[in-house]
Chain A
């Protein structure tokens, strides 16, 4: 491993691109969907970060690329100083034990024909934990860690016998059972009942703090993010348009897109309930055929003709440790 990153950094994305080929009639190449299109960031050991952005902006694609499920078209992922693309089969397998994955749909994420004990043993079996006793002890510990107690009573349950919240706890336990140093959670609570969302987020946060894990979670929900992350990355059209400490970003949003997102947070006042649909107006950009210049400019209230529709904005630093890719900060 070449140590070309600082010791504090756990994972780094450098100029990361993940494009999906578009085919016409099944074989003609018809361009690409640029799901991730030039993303740079570094995650420190033990921090929790949130990726926010509207549907289809490439958040899940980014998560999958970080997990090694998609091969990046360009750029690289560096984990603990090692390049993901350079890993051989064994190296990749080790990497997979170091990074846990929590998916959006807890029911779909669990094989319906396995009981909980089996589901949690699978990663251990795959990673060569031969001894049954050891496996059982680790499975039980993981269940206790996600507060599914007494663990024994859950071991022989099948996913369909659990509530959504319990299912997601099992998914989290599965992500933890290999004792990873990082967890990537792709909208872990968006499919859950509102009553258990905060509970699950708090659980994830507690585990992250206790274990000193790095947690990258993807969310739509800007209203809760303050309590569960230290930094925020705002994504738009396959790119990161703004990043800062959580309070800094939420209190002083710089990018017009972030401002629109914050304005769209549902107001508890029912009179304003339909406002969330009004802002930000317009369609999300097509990732197959992104607009030239700043991708947000067709919807941007402050777009400057001749600049925003022509040149891509670089990252500016309008406030300390607060990056925003918008020509307004020029």
Chain B
């Protein structure tokens, strides 16, 4: 135990190891935070998409990416009827409500979309609503009117009639400055725009509430994808998934490989021969195609993939390496002594042979972790990612399917790739330093 602690102390002398550990610490911290902040079931639910995200813009880039370039792309504004005062007029058999959903718009770029979400409460008789747009210059534009059932989404941006009338898509046409010179290059009319809802209720008790969503072009730290999902969910949840996959796969393969190699060396004879032949066969089996096959024909569950990776990793080239290291150890006098005082086979393998190789194993094991993290990501990029889990690889896969780079959504590719790289870098730097601490002979090389 003390030897390990001393090794750790020595690590402090390697700046790369300290940096690597900080990176790993950051990733671990992020994982812990993620798992606590967004419970597993909630993450799966969010990532499935749908209604959670209706107020998020599509393919919005991260805020910081725009601000770094000095841009002023708009963020999403949600104007709720709860925050404004409506004018009420009573009349026999009903009421008339005038709800002004006003917002101050200062960005020089148009929003990406306009939607209105309406909810009708406490009435069986659908009210009639007229939508009027009031621009900062005092002009008014009647968008239309209709009866509104219980819950309704009014997709202003998808209103083809309005688009034809305005000559532009509605979220441009409604907000542009009519005085701007070139009609093919409309400019934003900044100031307070108001969506006035003129509601006629045929009931004394009923009421209407509304949310006007002026979708921005930037969103949060990570941006959003084509399904309006906040990429932050996947980037955050990708961390624990990647670390767990890498760690379990690395532990699973290295430990079993070592123990099996030790068994072959200790028992010799047919045990050893069988292990060697299995290894040789397994070494020429291509791992990726097998995984693709399993994923295609059976299931792409991450746990199944993990199992296959570990199973294929057990009889890997490592067996040959450990065997070469263990062969001389087998003949060590202390092993003979252990046998002479009655130690059994299992004890000799696990307590007397394996510990001798552990110092070599630790750095190998640490550098192996990112290999498996990358493998998982590669599988996801190939479309064999876990069907429900949000992971970095899935984000990359979506980005690829949506031609993110062609469309200029660099953030969609860069952020998961950066996290993957940080993971690789952190473990590699720590692993190389560990190698030097635990295998001092390398130091002089």
Q: Which residues of A contact B (CB under 8 A)?
A: 64, 67-69, 93, 96-97, 99-101, 103-105, 108-113, 122-123, 126-127, 156, 171, 174-175, 178
Provide the residues of chain B in CB contact with A68, threshold 8 Å.
340
Is the Cβ of B341 less than 8 Å from the Cβ of A109?
no
A103 and B355 within 8 A (CB)? no
Kindly list chain A residues whose C-beta atoms are within 8 Å of the C-beta of B343: 122, 126
Q: With A103-B333, A109-B337 in contact, is A96–B356 under 8 Å at CB?
A: no
> B334 an interface residue at 8 Å Cβ cutoff?
yes
Given A109-B334, A110-B334, A97 and B342 touching (CB < 8 A)? yes
Q: Judging by beta carbons under 8 Å apart, are A108 and B340 in contact?
A: no
With contacts A108-B332, A113-B355 taken as known, whether A103 is within 8 angstroms of B337 at the C-beta atoms is yes
Cross-chain contact of A108 among B3, B333, B342, B352 (Cβ < 8 A): B333
Q: Are A67 and B340 in contact (CB-based, < 8 A)?
A: yes
Q: Which 8 A-B pairs have the closest CB atoms?
A: A108-B333, A96-B342, A101-B340, A123-B341, A109-B333, A111-B334, A93-B342, A113-B355
Residue of B nearest to A186 (CB): B333
In the bound complex, residues from chain B placing their C-beta under 8 Å from that of A93 are 342
Tell me the interface secondary structure of chain B in the complex: helix
Nearest opposing residue in chain A for B352, CB measure = A111
Q: Which residue in B3, B332, B337, B355 is a CB contact (below 8 Å) of A101?
A: B337
Once the chains bind, are A108 and B334 in contact (CB under 8 Å)?
yes
Residues of B within 8 A of A105 (CB): 333
Q: List 27 A-B contacts (CB under 8 A).
A: A64-B336, A67-B340, A68-B340, A69-B336, A69-B339, A96-B340, A96-B341, A96-B342, A97-B341, A97-B342, A100-B341, A101-B337, A103-B337, A111-B334, A111-B352, A111-B355, A112-B334, A113-B355, A122-B338, A122-B341, A123-B341, A126-B347, A127-B342, A156-B2, A174-B337, A175-B341, A178-B341
Q: Are A123 and B334 in contact (CB under 8 A)?
A: no
Can you name 19 extra interface pairs (CB under 8 A) apart from A67-B340, A101-B340, A111-B352? A101-B337, A105-B333, A108-B332, A109-B334, A110-B334, A111-B334, A111-B338, A111-B355, A112-B334, A113-B355, A113-B356, A122-B341, A126-B341, A126-B342, A127-B341, A171-B337, A174-B337, A174-B341, A178-B341
Q: Which of A97, A100, A103 contacts B336 (CB 8 A)?
A: A103
Task: Report chain A residues within 8 Å CB of B344.
Answer: 126
User: Which of A123, A171, A175, A178 has the most chain B CB atoms inside 10 A of its CB?
Assistant: A123
Whole-angstrom CA separation of A127 from B351 in the bound complex: 15
Q: How far is the CA of A126 from the CA of B338 in the complex (A)?
A: 10
Report the minimum CB–CB distance from B344 to chain A (whole Å).
8
A99 partner residues in chain B, CB cutoff 8 A: 340
Q: Which residue on A lies nearest to B337, using beta carbons?
A: A109
A112 to B357 Cα, complex, angstroms: 12
A69 touches B342 (CB 8 A): no
B residues near A (Cβ < 8 Å) are 2-3, 332-334, 336-344, 347, 351-352, 355-356
> Please, how many angstroms separate the alpha-carbon atoms of A243 and B426 in the complex?
69
Q: Chain B residues near A171: list those with CB within 8 A.
A: 337
> Inside 8 A of A111's CB, which chain B residues have their CB?
334, 338, 352, 355
Cα of A109 to Cα of B337 in the assembled complex, Å: 7
**Which chain B positions have C-beta within 8 A of A112?**
334, 356
CB distance from B78 to the nearest CB of A (A): 63
When distances are taken between beta carbons in the complex, the residues of chain B under 8 Å from A178 are: 341
Complex Cα spacing A175 to B337, Å: 9
Bound: A112/B359 CA distance, A: 13
Q: Which residue of chain A has its CB nearest to the CB of B334? A: A111
- Bound Cα distance from A330 to B2, whole angstroms: 66
**Residue of A whose beta carbon sits closest to that of B347:** A126
Minimal Cβ-Cβ distance residue in A for B343 = A126
With both beta carbons as reference points, the residue of chain A lying nearest to B358 in the complex is identified as: A113
Chain B residues positioned under 8 Å from A108 (CB to CB): 332-334
Residues in A whose Cβ lies below 8 Å from that of B337: 101, 103, 109, 171, 174
Residues of A with C-beta under 8 A to B334: 108-112
What residues on B are CB-neighbors of A127 within 8 Å? 341-342
C-alpha spacing A93/B345, complex, angstroms:
12
- Nearest B residue (CB) for A67: B340
Q: Which residue of A lies closest to B2 (CB)?
A: A156
A122 CA to B334 CA, complexed, in Å:
12
A69 touches B332 (CB 8 A): no
Provide the bound-state CA to CA distance between A162 and B38, in Å. Answer: 55
Residues of chain A with a CB closer than 8 A to B341's CB:
96-97, 100-101, 122-123, 126-127, 174-175, 178
Question: A134 → chain B, closest Cβ, in Å?
Answer: 17
Distance in Å from the Cβ of A59 to the closest Cβ of chain B? 15
Report the Cα distance A99→B337, complex, angstroms: 12
* B2 CB contacts on chain A under 8 angstroms: 156
Inter-chain contact B342/A123, CB cutoff 8 Å = yes
Min distance, Cβ B272 to any Cβ of chain A, angstroms: 13
- Of all chain A residues, the one with the shortest Cβ separation from B336 is A69
Min CB distance B113 to A, Å, is 65
Bound form: Cα–Cα A37–B352 in Å: 33
Chain A residues within an 8 Å CB radius of B356: 112-113
Once bound together, how far apart are the Cα atoms of A235 and B3, in whole Å?
45
* A234 and B152 alpha carbons, distance in the complex (Å): 107
> Cα distance A78–B343 when bound, in Å?
22
How close is B276's CB to chain A, nearest CB, in angstroms? 14
- Distance, CA A123 to CA B341, complexed state (A): 6
Question: In angstroms, how far is the closest chain A Cβ from the Cβ of B331?
Answer: 10
Chain A residues near B340 (CB-CB < 8 A):
67-69, 96, 99, 101
Residues of B within 8 A of A109 (CB): 333-334, 337
Q: How far is the CB of A75 from chain B (nearest CB, A)?
A: 20
Complex Cα gap A108–B355 (Å): 15
Q: How far is the CB of B170 from chain A (nearest CB, A)?
A: 75
* Assembled-state Cα–Cα distance A178/B339 (Å): 14
- Chain A: minimal CB distance from B180 (Å): 79
